[in-house]
């Protein structure tokens, strides 16, 4: 267990994620015994959805007080949320098993201890890292083969605020590797016609699924851009934006990256612009290599449906 701190170190923190998508209210059902993991006011909302007490796990005592404050005096006195501080990786086995576990902090994968704390047919809902994005995924056992699979229920662009510190389950360096050279004031590369800003997350996710070198970068000298979809190599970077493809320079390496992003953009358009919610995945853990490793998403597909209990 000596390697566990590597999963929890503050420097492995992820960019903040937006709140859960509205569809979450339909996935947490009346009567569910639920665990909420991570910061935010979601536990109080889950009390209304389930109709009874919700179990919550926070990284710090300050976050515990935030959860209690969201309940108001009446909710605190009624014990509507059973909240305590602890290691997010561990979950709360003593209060389980759970019908649903809702994770409200960005992760690179699912803790195997969360998986062990699910009831048969239970699900985990979490924002999981993919190419600088954190698509919200509902994951559970596929009744056809027993494998852990997931489907995307929503995805927002990365927040521009600084990362949170501590308690975030990261087994690899986070996205946002830092500032890169600002692009020259020129755009190049074709984008699908009449693409809208609202479709940008869908294009970004398509690129991330197709190329594992896609990430989020904050371009140096472009403060209004915020985190941006990018391919980088050395000191070269090419940014994929809703209004075009922006290279940082004109050297051959950058030209190659530009060509790759142009091809991905046109392929997304040629496939009728799939939405983020069109994607499913499998989750794979390697306990033989590392018994505490996270179950990470792989095998992204738009053709294979994920059969889940909700």
Q: What tens-digit pLDDT sequence spans the chain (310 residues)?
A: 233 223 333 333 344 566 789 999 999 999 999 999 999 889 999 999 999 999 999 999 999 999 999 888 766 656 799 999 999 999 999 999 999 999 999 898 999 999 999 999 999 999 999 999 999 999 999 988 889 999 999 998 887 544 443 334 544 444 456 678 888 878 887 788 888 889 999 999 999 999 999 999 988 888 888 889 999 988 889 999 998 999 999 899 999 999 999 999 999 999 999 999 999 999 998 766 666 789 999 999 998 777 876 7
Backbone φ, ψ for residue 272 (5° rounding) = 65, 35
Burial of 97 (0-12, 13-18, 19+ CB in 10 A): middle
Co-location of 122 and 249 in the same domain: no
* Residue 195 within a domain: yes
Co-location of 163 and 223 in the same domain: no
pTM, rounded to two decimals: 0.88
Residue partners of 48: CB distance under 8 A and separation at least 6: none
Residue partners of 179: CB distance under 8 A and separation at least 6: 217, 218, 219, 220
Task: Count other C-beta atoms under 10 Å from residue 129's C-beta.
Answer: 26
Co-location of 158 and 75 in the same domain: yes
Task: Count other C-beta atoms under 10 Å from residue 92's C-beta.
Answer: 21
Domain tally, the chain: 2
Q: What is the DSSP letter of 245?
A: E
Co-location of 96 and 129 in the same domain: yes
* Residue 125 within a domain: yes
Domain span holding position 254: 179-270
Co-location of 258 and 235 in the same domain: yes
Residue partners of 220: CB distance under 8 A and separation at least 6: 179, 180, 181, 182
């Amino acid at each position: 267990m000596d390697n566990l701190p590597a999963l929890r170190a503050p420097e492995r923190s992820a960019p903040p994620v937006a709140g859960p998508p509205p569809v979450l209210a339909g996935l947490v059902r009346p009567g569910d015994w639920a665990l909420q993991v991570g910061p935010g006011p979601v536990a109080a909302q889950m009390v209304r959805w389930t109709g009874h007490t919700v179990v919550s796990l926070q990284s710090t005592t300050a976050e515990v007080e935030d959860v209690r404050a969201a309940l108001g005096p009446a909710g605190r006195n009624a014990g509507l949320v059973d909240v305590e501080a602890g290691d997010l990786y561990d979950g709360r086995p003593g209060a389980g098993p759970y019908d649903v576990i809702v994770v409200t902090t960005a992760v690179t994968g699912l803790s195997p201890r969360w998986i062990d704390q699910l009831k048969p047919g239970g699900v985990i809902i979490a924002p999981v890292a993919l190419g600088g994005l954190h698509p919200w995924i509902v994951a559970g056992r596929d009744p056809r083969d027993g494998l852990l699979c997931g489907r995307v229920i929503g995805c927002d662009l990365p927040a521009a605020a600084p990362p949170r510190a501590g308690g975030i389950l990261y087994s690899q360096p986070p996205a946002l590797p830092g500032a890169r050279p600002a692009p020259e004031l020129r755009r190049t590369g074709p984008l699908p016609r009449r693409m809208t800003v609202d479709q940008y997350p869908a294009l970004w996710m398509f690129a991330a699924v197709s190329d594992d070198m896609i990430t989020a970068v904050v371009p140096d000298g472009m403060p209004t851009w915020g985190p941006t979809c990018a391919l980088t190599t050395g000191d070269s970077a090419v940014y994929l934006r809703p209004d075009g493809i922006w290279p940082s320079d004109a050297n051959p390496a950058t030209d190659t990256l530009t060509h790759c992003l142009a091809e991905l953009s046109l392929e997304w358009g040629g496939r009728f612009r799939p939405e983020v919610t069109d994607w499913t995945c499998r989750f794979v853990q390697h306990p033989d290599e590392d018994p505490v490793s996270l179950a990470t998403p792989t095998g992204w597909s738009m053709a294979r449906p994920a059969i889940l209990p909700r």
